[in-house]
Amino acid sequence: MTSSVRRVGVLALQGDFREHLSVLNELGAHTVEVRVPHDLESVDALIVPGGESTTIGRLATLYGMIEPLRKHIKHGMPTLGTCAGMIFLASRVTDGDQPLIGALEASVERNAFGRQNESFEVDIPVKGLGDPVRAVFIRAPLIEEVGDGVEVLARHRGRPVFVRQANVMATSFHPELTEDRRIHQMLLDSLEAG
């Protein structure tokens, strides 16, 4: 299914932004690498990719991106954060201190599913998607607690790993690393619905 989305940005400061751009292009979206505040003015939706959450936070601060990101997301820009992107979008991190956007009312623990060599894949059911999604967990964060407005779309080992709050979705895993495009399509569909 293709989309008539005008432009979808991927925060391209660090991490696996190229993989997200490739998926979005495959789905028919026009893509933009977002690095500076001005780039946000030309996009209708945003993906914050996986990588190193502390590095993403530092670079976002350095490039003056924190407040513009908060503003655009608060004003309804559909946003998807994956792995480190989920951490960066959260309101709290339990293990350390770093810049956060605070767009997702959740408390997150970094690397909670283990180190790089403990990475794993598993099929998880996702609310509203029918067949399970293949989830790739790489040094994945764990959602410790969610606020009242956060809907849990998927769990693993009883813990939330895919959540949605208003216009923000976030996963502990990497949907861009599989052939399943449904989570990216959910972002595009949310734009169409808006």
Residues catalogued as catalytic: 83, 174, 176
**Strands 120-124 vs 133-137: parallel, antiparallel or unpaired:** antiparallel
Cα–Cα distance, 28 to 106 (Å, whole number):
32
DSSP state of 42: T
Cα–Cα distance, 170 to 156 (Å, whole number):
14
8 A C-beta contact, residue 22 and residue 181? no
- Residue 154 pairs in a beta bridge with 162
Residue type, 75: H
Cα–Cα distance, 165 to 135 (Å, whole number):
20
Residue type, 160: P
Hey, how many other C-beta atoms are within 10 angstroms of the C-beta on 71? 12
8 A C-beta contact, residue 132 and residue 126? yes
Cα–Cα distance, 159 to 140 (Å, whole number):
12
